[in-house]
Amino acid sequence: MKKHNFSAGPAVLPQEAIENGAKAVLDFDGTGLSILTVSHRSKEFEAVMDETEALFRELLNIPEGYHVLFLGGGASTQFYMVPFNLLETKAGYVNTGVWSKKAIKEAKAFGGVEVLASSDDKNFSYIPKGFAIPSDLDYLHITTNNTIFGTEYKVDLDSPVPLVADMSSDILSRPVDVSKYSLIYGGAQKNLAPAGVTFVIVKDSILGKVTRHLPTMIDYRTHIENGSMFNTPPVFPIFVMRETLRWLKGLGGVEKMYEINKKKAQLLYDEIDRNKVFKGTAAVEDRSLMNICFVPADGYENLYDEFMDFAKKRGMVGIKGHRLVGGFRASTYNALPIESVQALVDCMQEFEKLHA
Measured distance CA(107)–CA(105) in Å, rounded: 6
Rounded Cα distance, 243 and 15, in Å: 10
Q: What is the DSSP string of 42-73?
A: SHHHHHHHHHHHHHHHHHHTPPTTEEEEEESS
Inter-residue contact 67 to 258 (CB < 8 Å): no
> Minimal CA–CA distance to 182: which of 213, 148, 209?
209
Residues in the chain: 356
Helix (H) or strand (E) holding 25: helix 15-26
Beta strands 291-296; 328-331: pairing state: antiparallel
Closest CA to 113 of 82, 151, 158: 82
Distances (CA, A) of 315 to 10, 309, 347: 18, 10, 10
**DSSP states along 151-211:** EE--S----SS-EEEE-TTTTTSS---GGG-SEEEEESTTTTSSTT-EEEEEEGGGSS---
How far is it, in rounded angstroms, from Cα 149 to Cα 96? Answer: 9
Indicate the SS3 state at residue 146: strand
DSSP 103-133: HHHHHTTTSEEEEEEE-GGGTT-S---S---
Instruction: Write out the catalytic residue numbers.
Output: 99, 166, 190
